[in-house]
A and B are shown apart, each in its own frame.
Chain A
Amino acid sequence: MSSFGEPIGSSVTAGEPPVADDQLSVPGPEDTRVMRRERMAVLLHSKTFIAGAVILAFWIVCAIFGKLIAPDDPLLTDPIKALQAPSSAHLFGTDTLGRDVLSRVLVGARDILIVAPLATLLGTVLGTVLGLVMGYFRGPTDDVLGRIVDAVLAVPVVIVGLLSLVALGPSTITVIFVIGVVFTPVIARTVRAAVLTEREYEYVAAARLRNERTPYILFGEILPNVLGPVLVEFTVRLGYAIFTIATLSFLGFGIQPPAPDWGLQIYQHYGLISGGYWWPVLFPALAIASLVIGVNLLSDGISQAFER
């Protein structure tokens, strides 16, 4: 952040003297846009960010227009063509029911790209609120909530997810809800740490000296200053969420058949690998990997831009 010279000549005289001329040379509000533009420039010059954005954009296009791009109908079964190796007719081969793997991989982006962001968003919102409350109040509130958060964090995510899905019954809504709740503590901890720094700043004291209500101080004053870490945390968690959903689907508790989900495809075919039928497993696995890597690259790019 550049600092500008100090206008000093604002002479103090009685009455209504004009504002000192020298203040005029200090840049005006258009500078805010310059700052924003600089941050965008950093992002656009970051190879990590660009690479991540390209990969993610590819999958988003697939998720939206998958059915148009796909060479075949991903749900069309054809037992005669079952388990054909990759060829010019079927670039990624076919699965046990004779469905085109390429088409299923392309279309398979849709479910995970709806479920994962929604789940992460839910977790981010809940975690941010919890983190703000814990960091601002500290004391007993922080102690009690902090222990609960620690307890949730101590249990492996997939186990909690599995148990909850068994209890609530697998459905897309449940998956979103469960993953959102499971991610809440991690995000809460990050936000809490940021708030602990922020609450010591005197603008918080100044707000209390105007009789501001606590919710305004939390969401109006402090929240805008912790949005950077929140955004970074969101992108990091998004990567994890994709991974977790794929895992749950693989275990049969995530997205339900016959949806062409990647995790589900692996689940349905991994037993065949030993028989030499690697293609129905490898291509969805690569898809999951590329999406997670893409999101992580994007996340790295964003956090670099905010660190500056």
Chain B
Amino acid sequence: MSATAPQPAAVETAPALELRDLEVAYRVRGIWREVLRGVTLSIGRNESYGLVGESGCGKSTAAFAALRYLPRNGRVTRGSILVDGQDLLGMSENEVRELRVKKVSMVYQNPTAALNPSIRIGDQVAEVYALAGAHDGEARQRAHEMLGKVQISDPASVMRRYPHQLSGGMNQRVVIAMALATDPSLLILDEPTTGLDATVEGEVLDLVKMLREEFGTSLLFITHNLGVMAKMCERMGVLYAGRLVEEGPVAEVFARPSHPYTVGLLRCIPRGGVRKDRETLDTIPGFLPQLGADLPACVFTDRCGLAEEICHREEPPFHRVTDGHCSRCHFYDRAQTVPRATPAPPVPREDRRVEPVLEARGLRKTFHQEGNAIHALADVQFALKEGETLGLVGESGSGKTTLARSLIGLSPADEGSVIELDGARLAPNVTKRKRDQVRALQIVFQNPDSALNRRFSIHRIIGRALTMLKGERGEQREEHLRQLAHSVRFDVRLIGARPAQLSGGLKQRVAIARAFAGDPRIVVCDEPTSALDVSVQAAILNLLVELQASKKVAYLFISHDLGVVRYLSDRIAVLYLGRVMELGPAEHVFDPPQHPYTEALGSAVPTAEGTERERIRLVGEIPSAASPPSGCVFHTRCPRYIGDICRDEEPALREVEPGHFWRCHYSAEELREVQKTPPPEQPLTAREASEPTGGNLRPSEVDRST
């Protein structure tokens, strides 16, 4: 970085970003609708500030406003935006462009969409320097250095590649490199890790943290993930319906939330290893008001359990809770006493010893692509008992979804695989299964927008399932349909609506109702809440727990959110490269002794408590299933690598404790001992050399280029 021109002293002391009473409106169908309603906040130099809130609260609008980069139908209606003490609203277009080049940068949620797919990485990064006035050769040289700074091990080769040849995590590093290229004073990160795996997320967050210290950049961090917030930010603000309702130091806000909305958000997430049999998750009653709706004086009144008459009448001032911790609530001192929206007692856990409903043995699935055999599932085995939840975790590419699709028969397993339902062997392909078998094994997909036919009414979607799976017609079907809608808390009056008219949570309820139409024995849940906001997620998880208790259905629950899996599961299976690496009771899997892969996976997840474990870095990315590593497939990245035995011999899945299985050469006692201390930084010598995937590059790409 060349030294920037000397600046007046006044600018040096001004906050990196200051929003003063900012109001932003969007014009939708001819009417101006308020999105931000008087937001005032200030981010100091070298400070990291987080903004939380559900989707639609105005987080991203605040970020875009800080760049004066609002969509065409948006405009600032009041207030001011100051970057480094300079008023953004008074600037000309050229001055704003200059500012975006030099002072403010932004990192978006989807790195692959943020990069131009047809320009090589090197040219894209160099362009940023060229814009800032560097010569061609110098720009490339600097791009090379910057890519090194974001811990890309082979910048020269990465610079020659196109975005689609790199993984999501790598692309996000490139985007961060571009954002930091001109040494901005403010970096805005809009959900930078939402689309990434837990292990990659951990790495990217560590990187941002490290770079921030090196560059002294101020951060505006936007996220809906409270764990990420706790890890990354010093101060935070909570946005609700375009208004900042609480602000303060992160630890302070988490320990003493002083606005009912913050309290609700914190109660929604399964924290501290809470499990379904001990506590139901709380939800926030009501729903987010529509854009620009007329709101009572306190914007949260309609959803607040503490609301009194004064809340309708008088806008609460920013009460000071402690130094620097403010809350916009009349009753800030008793915000934590807000009554629970879900008073229901948790469902007691029953310990049954019954025959498994579903059993899989030697389950294999091979895809053939361009002459390569890709073993997506290799010898998976597990059993599912009645009314039990088996959680399934693993990085993307580990085979979670393939396993789900093989079980339900959409993507038939290889010959020789055994899937048994109540002891009777199931045909691999769903079209060959009997009706009773089909209805016994159903799925709730991740994205209800895709899973519900948008041309059909809810009535037709659920009704058709009842007709096909139970052969019901006429009045009997109508009656059953009403019951079903009721059991998933779906208002029967909305039954004639189409999916597009419903919110995400309601759509997912319809998808759940459809899965339950044929009284299933097993329901596969493929990340059913990952597209939803936390408070909606809590309601859906509660619903799943309740349905399980009343219908005795077993779940195979897939999620990348370890907190959610832990909350819901009785047992957890950890998948890596299509193999079960560990399988055990939920309460044991995430504590030592545990498989080294599970250990690394668990350590990567930021917790909302802020109590951070020593994070275990995994080297490189998940290898290609087309050419899995020899021996133990995890040996190339294992933080507890023993030696040649790991490279040469694949360990079997064996029972180390009653009901607890893993695939590792270590014994339980040995691991318990070893895991008392964090592993040494990864030794990369012999193993990296033997690794065919070449570190950072996506394996399939290397295969193609050799």
Contacts and interface: CB of A to CB of B under 8 A. Distances in A.
Contact of B443 (A1, A27, A31, A209): A209
Nearest to B505: A6
Contacts of B469: 210-211
Nearest to A214: B431
Interface in B488-507: 489-494, 496-498, 500-506
Given A20-B489, A29-B457, A209-B430, A203 B539 contact: no
B546 A12 contact: yes
A258 interface: no
A226 B442 CA distance: 27
B489 A10 contact: yes
A121 B26 CA distance: 43
Contacts of A20: 285, 489
Given A8-B536, A11-B343, A32 B497 contact: yes
B450 interface: yes
B455 interface: yes
Interface string A1-28: 1111111111111101101101111111
Contacts of A208: 410, 430-431
B289 A5 contact: yes
Given A12-B280, A27-B501, A201 B442 contact: no
A10 B286 CA distance: 9
A28 B497 contact: yes
A225 interface: yes
B543 interface: yes
A206 interface: yes
Contacts of A150: none
Interface string A34-77: 01000000000000000000000000000000000000000000
Given A13-B344, A209-B438, A8 B285 contact: yes
A78 interface: no
Interface in B654-680: none
A16 B486 CA distance: 8
A4 B287 contact: yes
A8 B286 contact: yes
B536 A6 contact: yes
B542 interface: yes
B402 to A, nearest CB: 14
Given A27-B501, A203-B452, A5 B288 contact: yes
Contacts of A13: 342-344
A111 interface: no
B290 interface: yes
B283 interface: yes
Nearest to A38: B29
B702 interface: no
A202 interface: yes
B453 interface: yes
Interface residues of B, number: 67
Contacts of B464: 210
B454 interface: yes
Contacts of A6: 287-288, 503-506, 532-533, 535-536
A210 B468 contact: yes
Contact of A206 (B431, B451, B486, B535): B451
Contacts of B456: 224
B633 interface: no
A212 interface: yes
A168 interface: no
B224 interface: no
B496 to A, nearest CB: 3
B493 A28 contact: yes
B284 interface: yes
A97 interface: no
B342 A12 contact: yes
B514 interface: yes
Contact of A28 (B288, B303, B494): B494
A9 B453 contact: no
Contacts of A31: 497, 501
Given A6-B533, A11-B344, A28-B496, A23 B491 contact: yes
A142 interface: no
B641 interface: no
A26 B502 CA distance: 7
A9 B284 contact: yes
A8 B535 contact: yes
B594 to A, nearest CB: 32
A300 interface: no
A289 interface: no
B290 A5 contact: yes
B408 interface: yes
Q: Main SS of chain A's interface residues?
A: loop
B447 interface: yes
Contact of B453 (A3, A19, A22, A221): A221
Given A12-B280, A202-B450, A19 B503 contact: no
A5 B57 CA distance: 11
B551 interface: no
B465 interface: yes
A273 interface: no
A163 interface: no
B656 to A, nearest CB: 36
Nearest to A203: B453
B334 interface: no
A173 interface: no
A205 interface: yes
Contacts of B288: 5-6
Contacts of B303: 9
A7 B506 contact: yes
A205 B404 CA distance: 12
Which of A10, A11, A19, A29: most chain B CB closer than 10 A? Answer: A10
A9 B341 contact: yes
Contacts of A14: 344-345, 546
Contacts of A8: 283-287, 341, 505, 535-536, 538-539
A29 B496 contact: yes
Contacts of A225: 453-455
Contact of A9 (B283, B445, B496): B283
B468 A203 contact: no
B27 interface: no
Interface in B327-352: 341-345
A205 B443 CA distance: 10
B93 to A, nearest CB: 30
Nearest to A17: B489
Given A208-B430, A209-B443, A211-B438, A7 B468 contact: no
Interface of A: 1-14, 16-17, 19-20, 22-29, 31-32, 35, 201-203, 205-206, 208-212, 221, 224-225
Interface of B: 56, 280, 283-290, 303, 341-345, 408, 410, 430-431, 435, 438, 442-443, 445, 447, 450-457, 464-465, 468-469, 486, 489-494, 496-498, 500-506, 514, 518, 532-533, 535-536, 538-539, 542-543, 545-546
Given A6-B533, A208-B410, 17 more contacts: A1-B500, A3-B503, A9-B285, A9-B303, A11-B285, A11-B342, A12-B342, A12-B489, A17-B489, A20-B489, A26-B501, A201-B450, A203-B451, A205-B445, A209-B410, A211-B435, A211-B469
8 contacts: A2-B290, A5-B286, A5-B287, A7-B506, A8-B284, A9-B539, A12-B344, A210-B438
User: What are the 8 A-B residue pairs with the smallest beta carbon separation, nearest first?
Assistant: A5-B287, A9-B285, A29-B496, A10-B489, A210-B468, A224-B455, A12-B542, A202-B451
